[in-house]
Amino acid sequence: MAWNKPMPARPVVAVAGATGAVGREMLKVLEQRAFPAERVIALASSRSAGKELPYAGGHLTVELMTPESFEGVDIALFSAGGTISQIMGPQAADRGCVVIDNSSAFRMDESVPLVVPEVNPQDVSWHSGIIANPNCSTIQMVVALKPLNDLAPIKRVVVSTYQAASGAGQAAMDELYSQSRDFLIGQELHVEQFAHRIAFNCIPHIDVFLDDGSTKEEWKMVVETQKILHAPDIKVFATCVRVPVLRCHSESIDVEFARPVSLDAARAALCSAPGIAMMDDPASGTYPMPAMLEGTDETFIGRLRVDPTVPHGISMWVVADQLRKGAALNAVQIAEALLPR
């Protein structure tokens, strides 16, 4: 059933999972973008209830999240994990709240739109109370692919990711810090958040392995890209790697088109596309690097060049802040798309 409840100009907004890394970033993005909320409510588990979080020059007292928390709430930004989303998301929607969920719980549900506002904003219109935020690695890739796919249909994408610790949460970022310190002073390293040590290492293992030898993270990039672009025939092959970087994901993306696309046309399309910033002057050492782009909102593209190993191939290097465009910012942009025009 299509959603028909009108959205007020100044909605009441709840952030579910407000004390986590993404939840805190959601509050920061709401404040920085001056989102016109009538009121903002911070929700979390009983472990965090009563804590105070900074917001808009003051603070929010974290409330215990229950189904009743969503009474009178217009928009709920969820970053509390898939299990909580599956339980609380539908109950929030039943109370008239539009849920924008950052977990994987609803992404491949055919009745739930999967939205990146620079790519498929029109899909916001057919939600039924729940809208899914895509996987972080998928978001920045489709932002880069959309203007290229508009030039000529994309046949195939091969992507290798270099994913930051932030994608695994605050505890994973803390582990990168502590392991790096312990390594440098010769102490024993303790591994809890990853399959192996993350300090001074690369781990080609994100999420669980599937029967075909790929990981679930890699599978997400395939099916989510096809859904967001409304292009079920695009072939995507991904290798996802966790690297010792704090919060920006990097991706090496090779694109094969169905027909010729010149490098100049590709560059012009990317330069004029929303949400993209070009950093592409190798002669001066200018290209996106994760350490330099923390806290930014754009998807940065560099190293744009022809791939001569396939017909009609172009390659690029793409970097974006995982906590912002890869999660919190994209969710707030979806919320902005819900506001009355």
| Strand-pair partners of 54 | 59
CB 154 within 8 A of CB 257: yes
Provide the token pair at 230. 């409304």
- Is 97 designated active site? no
- Is 136 designated active site? yes
By three-state DSSP, how is residue 200 classified?
coil
CB 104 within 8 A of CB 220: yes
Instruction: Kindly provide the residue ranges of all beta strands, DSSP E only, lying in the chain, ordered along the sequence.
Output: 12-16, 39-44, 52-55, 58-61, 63-64, 75-78, 98-101, 130-132, 154-163, 235-242, 248-257, 276-278, 299-307, 313-321
User: Which residue is catalytic, options 97, 127, 136, 248?
Assistant: 136
Q: Look up residue 268 and give its amino acid.
A: A
Alpha helices in the chain, H assignment, sequence order: 21-32, 82-94, 136-151, 170-184, 216-228, 263-271, 329-338
Polymer length in residues for the chain = 341
C-alpha closest to that of 42 among 8, 75, 21, 65? 65
Strand order in the sheet with 98-101: 63-64, 39-44, 12-16, 75-78, 98-101, 130-132
Provide the token pair at 149. 């796919």
User: Which residue is catalytic, options 97, 240, 248, 249?
Assistant: 249
Give CA–CA dist 303/252, Å, rounded.
Answer: 9
By three-state DSSP, how is residue 328 classified?
helix
Provide the token pair at 45. 């588990």
CB atoms closer than 10 angstroms to residue 71: 12
Enumerate the active-site residues.
Answer: 136, 249
